[in-house]
C-alpha cells in the first residue's frame, strides 16, 4: 500500500468512527396549546338590559388561572378585552358582558400561555345587539301638524314625545326605519292634559297599506307602553286626528324603536 492510499484509508476510518460515535439528536417536542370551548347564552341582546354570559372549558384545566373575554364590534379588526375570570377546579369558567351600544359583534375567550403551554382562543361567537332609541331623535319624513314636545298625561310628564299642534286638523308624521334594522315600536297614546273636557281623537300606526294599530282617544283613556312589531317595516307612518270643539291635543308619548346598526 502506497503512502497516499494509506492516508486515505486512515481518513475514511476516522470519519466512520466519528459517524458511529456522534449521538442522534431527537426532534424538539411540539409545545402544547390551550384548548378553549365557549358558548354564549344568547345571540340577540338588548343594550343596557341584557347580559351576555359566555361559558366554557379550558384544556388542560389550568385551575385558578385567568381567562379573558374579548369582543370585536362591527367591522373593527381589533379585539378588546372586557372581562376576566379564574378557571374553576374542573376547568370551566363563566365570563360576562353587558353591552351598552348597538350593532353586531363577536366574542371570544383567551387563555394566556402558562407552564410551557401556549395561549389558546375559543371560536368567535356572534351576537346582534339592539338598543331602544327615541323616535323623535331620528330624522323624520313628511310631518304635518305634529311637533316634538314634552307632554303631560294624567299629570305625568313624558319627554321626547310627538303632539298635534292645531285641534281639528289632520296630523301625520313618517319615519324611515329601514327594513330588518328595527324590530319593535314602543309608545303611549293619549290626549294630553291640555285637552278640553269632552274632546276626543284617534291614532293610527301604519306601514304602507298595512295598519299596525289604531286607537280611539278620550280624556282619561291612556294606551300605555304598547309594543308593536315593526321588524318588516321600511317606512312608518303615524296619523293623528282630534276634535276642534271641544279642542284636543293628541300625543304619542315617548315613542321608542328597538334597532341595530
How many of the other CB atoms lie within 10 Å of CB of 126? 11
Q: What is the CATH number of domain 35-130?
A: 2.60.40.10
Measuring CA to CA, how many Å separate 99 from each of 61, 63, 93, 109? 29, 28, 20, 16
* pLDDT value, residue 8: 47
pLDDT digits (tens, 9 = 90+) for 222-241: 999 999 999 999 999 999 99
pLDDT digits (tens, 9 = 90+) for 187-217: 999 999 999 999 999 999 999 999 999 999 9
Q: Which fold has domain 138-259?
A: Jelly Rolls (2.60.120)
51: nearest Cα among 109, 107, 97, 101: 97
Question: Domain boundaries in the chain?
Answer: 35-130, 138-259
Instruction: Tell me the C-alpha distance between 39 and 176, whole Å.
Output: 36
As given in the structure block, the three cell numbers for residue 197 are 273636557
Classify strands 200-207 and 235-242 as parallel, antiparallel or unpaired: antiparallel
Q: What are phi and psi of 18, to 5 degrees?
A: -65, -40
* pLDDT value, residue 30: 65
pTM: predicted TM-score of the whole model, two decimal places = 0.81
As given in the structure block, the three cell numbers for residue 193 are 292634559
- Going 244 to 248 to 249 to 255, the CA torsion angle's sign is negative
Low-confidence ranges of the chain (pLDDT < 70): 1-30
Instruction: Tell me the C-alpha distance between 250 and 245, whole Å.
Output: 14
Amino acid at each position: 500500500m502506497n503512502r497516499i492510499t494509506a492516508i486515505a484509508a486512515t481518513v475514511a476510518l476516522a470519519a466512520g468512527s466519528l459517524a458511529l460515535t456522534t449521538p442522534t439528536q431527537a426532534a424538539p417536542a411540539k409545545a402544547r396549546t390551550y384548548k378553549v370551548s365557549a358558548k354564549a347564552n344568547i345571540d340577540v341582546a338588548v343594550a343596557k338590559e341584557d347580559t351576555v354570559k359566555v361559558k366554557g372549558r379550558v384544556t388542560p384545566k389550568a385551575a385558578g388561572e385567568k381567562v379573558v373575554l374579548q369582543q370585536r364590534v362591527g367591522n373593527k379588526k381589533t379585539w378588546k378585552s372586557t372581562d376576566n375570570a379564574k378557571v374553576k377546579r374542573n376547568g370551566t369558567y363563566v365570563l360576562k358582558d353587558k353591552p351598552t351600544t348597538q350593532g353586531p359583534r363577536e366574542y371570544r375567550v383567551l387563555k394566556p400561555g402558562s407552564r410551557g403551554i401556549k395561549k389558546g382562543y375559543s371560536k368567535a361567537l356572534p351576537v346582534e345587539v339592539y338598543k331602544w332609541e327615541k323616535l323623535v331623535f331620528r330624522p323624520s319624513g313628511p310631518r304635518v301638524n305634529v311637533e316634538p314636545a314634552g307632554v303631560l298625561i294624567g299629570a305625568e310628564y313624558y319627554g321626547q314625545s310627538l303632539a298635534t299642534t292645531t285641534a281639528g286638523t289632520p296630523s301625520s308624521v313618517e319615519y324611515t326605519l329601514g327594513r330588518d334594522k328595527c324590530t319593535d315600536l314602543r309608545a303611549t297614546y293619549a290626549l294630553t292634559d291640555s285637552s278640553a273636557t269632552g274632546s276626543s281623537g284617534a291614532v293610527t300606526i301604519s306601514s304602507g297599506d298595512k295598519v299596525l294599530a289604531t286607537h280611539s282617544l278620550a280624556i282619561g283613556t291612556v294606551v300605555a307602553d304598547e309594543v308593536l312589531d315593526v321588524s318588516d317595516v321600511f317606512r312608518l307612518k303615524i296619523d293623528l286626528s282630534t276634535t276642534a270643539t271641544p279642542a284636543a291635543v293628541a300625543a304619542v308619548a315617548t315613542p321608542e324603536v328597538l334597532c341595530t346598526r
